[in-house]
Structure 1
Amino acid sequence: MAAILHSIAGSRSFRVNWLLHELGEKVEIVPYAIMDGSLQHPEFKAKSPARRVPALELDGRVLYESGAIVQYLCETRTGHSLMPAIDSDERSGWLQWIHYAETIGAGVQNLNMQHLFLPKEWMKSPTVMGIETKRLAIALKAVETALQDGRSYLLASGFSAADVMMGFTLESASRYVRFDGYPQTSQYLARIKARAAYQAAEAAEGPQQFYTQDFYELPEA
């Protein structure tokens, strides 16, 4: 039976969609839009108390936190190398990157609110935009440093679910921080986006719904 993924194209639900494709799991995508009120329907609220995607129906339960879903899928599915064993030296690093993706994601979310979702110009703060952009740029340095030793992915052993969590986040972060100063990160993101499962997940999900520009400049204060 296929997993059912409640999703908004271009949101955190892409992580789950992509990982399901990496695992070869069948998935049925139920699409939503952020501004059409569909997230407020009682049927969806029963699945996601925060009224946000993703929500994944799988194994007789509903999961609604992307990081938890990624770890659950890795722990309950077999025949993959997307998660180091508990006694592996890489396990702590894997967990660290899984959650560090949301450190970067929080900065992206704050900038999304300022650039995309506040409807009136007077609601937006150039000062906040500047601070959040700087914080995001600083957070990205950890990824650049991790890739300095020539590794292709976050873990020395190769591609893992940590890259699934991080890859989506970096794609969004590149809308606000130019990656010219992050050459290793830029190449890493290109490698990730070239994966067959990434491209299949994009095709299954459809075009992202958020960004109308490749890059958003800071407004003048």
Structure 2
Amino acid sequence: MARLRKTRSLAKAPAQPAPLADDRERLSQLVSSLPDLDRRQLLLQWRNHLGGTAPAHLPTWLLARLLAYRIQAAAFGDVSATTQRRLRSLKDAGDHSTPVPFANRSPATRDGVDLRPGALLAREWRGRLERVSVLSEGFAWNGDTYASLSMVAKAITGTSWNGHRFFGLRSGRQTPARAMPAKARQARATPSAPSQSEAAP
């Protein structure tokens, strides 16, 4: 009976009090420093602040974001079930014309030009030329259809790859043109006005 009472009292434990101003400042500094850490340092921060080990399959950038979220949720409290239900209902009732955050992006060249259905991508892999056709809904390779370029790259190589990088559509840290601000993209696309000497007949 004593054990049962102890369990009930734990279930009704009050929520953690909100952090003080100093704690908020320290937390803010910690969270803002996470993107600058390498994978090993992020795993150490995970162990120090959350205990246990981080999911091994997460890429470094996502590990930093998840760690930031979990640290803040531990300090301020997580999203309540009521809020989660409200967000789901808004999503279901909302406008579906906006893309889903993690939807497959359309393939584009390094300059940000979208590839249309019918385009052919080629990549040499281990001495063999691999050709992939862009379809209206996915990609065709070797007689099969795939939902994303990453799935095609995995089928070709047997390991996980970023499909856009594998096919040379984007390089490591180069900013694609679509991600640039509109003004910068416009300046890059429009040729500069001819000089006076060129304009004169």
TM-score by length of 1: 0.25
Higher relative contact order, chain-length normalized (CA < 8 Å, sep 6+): 1
TM-score by length of 2: 0.27
- Identify the structure with the greater helix proportion: 1
